[in-house]
Structure 1
């Protein structure tokens, strides 16, 4: 099994308001997985594992994808972002968004050290982590003080915070019990796509009963409407949370589809 070469904490120990005593066991960080081989103009991916904003599928949706991309010459940073629980003892928005932005900024600022090109830093997310990646991709181009990813890879992503297609538990963990409509709108990624939103590739299973396929469809349709380059793959099976799908010879082709897409966009 691949081992992370470096753990990078996103906040200094003296920064307040980051850790909730009695809930958090660790401060937000990312683990750096360096690509096999060497290079000075590499692509990098910041991966946001899923888990409904209450836990992280670290191995399945972080380490295993990192291993795959490393073998294809791409550096990977797996993000451990702040979470919440049923009792609302953890963190709600914008904590997770802030963590992802801190990680993206760190990679961008240290790109030369890692041998990464600043214009080849993308984001990837699974499920709720896909929502975080989509949020970064849609809100950041509207904010001059943030880094906009070069591309997005979204795997069975939560996209909307609005019924009827919302994953209600992710919304509750991110926004609380009764979020205001303005907050729902601002965190429904499909409503915030512009011509400046980075290109995206999306993967979803048609039989996903947790996060309906309409989440990916809405995001893709809005990208298409704004003339943003996008690809969407909908599989006839797989359910939710199939990860790298190592045991399924049809589903497990999606990582190779990502590589072909990155090559077409000259991000390989």
Structure 2
């Protein structure tokens, strides 16, 4: 039996770690819940056992590119459908294999150090997909990451902190995503622009200044940072557009390829479909990926 099959919990769902080897975890009474919110959207809470759900494209369309999707939810819940499964299915239409990451939500009850728990899972997801690339006929050099809101902060953290492994990495597998797509992302933990709910959930009510700096992603960009595509609405009151603007400024300064699509209106949390606009931002993502050979012709 392969090591991969040992982690399988369903036809298309895989545990990120063996059940007794989840790093930075401790026994707790938390019970995972999946509920339908008033909006009809699926919300998952109390995640202590991270998984990857795999969405495979039609074999005739598959091009070897992969993207790991991190749903948002303020580091308190996961918006698993409109910022997860629905997005994965759209990528499948393009021939891209998509993986929705159900990452652990920071908790002092279930983690020794809650500040690094979600980032560990994002790094493990990249490691897992690269090391098992042959299983899904993927190009291990075409593995990207995507995130919405606080999931954007998580994906962004993996985008800028790939040189520091927070998980065991005996094969020295690259933890650097090849591209990053961040949608109305939390970027800065500074007092001026921070989404305070996300910062408090991850770092606590009185965060250490060094942790604030570490997780303020605009301070962590280097010339090695992979290409980034950003989406944000100018009237977003939950996560100010300054977050994306500050990151873009840092990317430009480091001469990292990036693009930013902004809506005049749309607020926060609209997923793939901004109800205030007829423009589908995912079409721009497709073109951006195509222009950079991130969506490849079938081999």
Relative to the length of structure 2, the TM-score reads 0.83
Q: Secondary structure at the match of 1:184?
A: helix
User: Is 1:15 aligned with 2:18?
Assistant: no
State the Cα deviation string for residues 171-230 of structure 1 (Å, max 9, x = none).
011111111100100111110000000000000000000000000001111101111000
Structure 1 gaps, min length 5: none
Structure 2 gaps, min length 5: 1-9, 33-47, 166-171
After TM superposition, list the pairs within 5 Å mapping 1:224-243 onto structure 2. Answer: 224-243=252-271
Offset of residue 89 of structure 1: 3.7
State the Cα deviation string for residues 66-122 of structure 1 (Å, max 9, x = none).
01000110000000011146xx54552100000111111000001111111011000
- 2:293 paired residue number: 266
Question: Does structure 2 retain, via aligned residues, the 8 Å contact 1:39–1:115?
Answer: no
Q: Work out the CA distance in 2 between the residues paired with 1:168 and 1:35.
A: 38
- 2:201 paired residue number: 173
Q: Work out the CA distance in 2 between the residues paired with 1:225 and 1:142.
A: 22
Q: Work out the CA distance in 2 between the residues paired with 1:61 and 1:9.
A: 20
Q: Work out the CA distance in 2 between the residues paired with 1:247 and 1:235.
A: 11
1:126 to 1:20, Cα distance in 2 relative to 1, 3 A? farther
Q: Work out the CA distance in 2 between the residues paired with 1:214 and 1:137.
A: 19
Offset of residue 167 of structure 1: 0.2
Offset of residue 14 of structure 1: 1.7
**Higher helix content, 1 or 2:** 1
- 2:41 paired residue number: none
Offset of residue 145 of structure 1: 6.6
Instruction: Pick the aligned partner of 1:125 from 134, 144, 147.
Output: 147
Q: Work out the CA distance in 2 between the residues paired with 1:188 and 1:5.
A: 37
Cα RMSD between the aligned structures?
1.9
Offset of residue 35 of structure 1: 1.2
Offset of residue 155 of structure 1: 0.2
After TM superposition, list the pairs within 5 Å mapping 1:9-158 onto structure 2. Answer: 9-15=15-21, 17-18=24-25, 20-25=27-32, 27-38=49-60, 41-84=63-106, 89-91=109-111, 92-141=114-163, 146-158=174-186
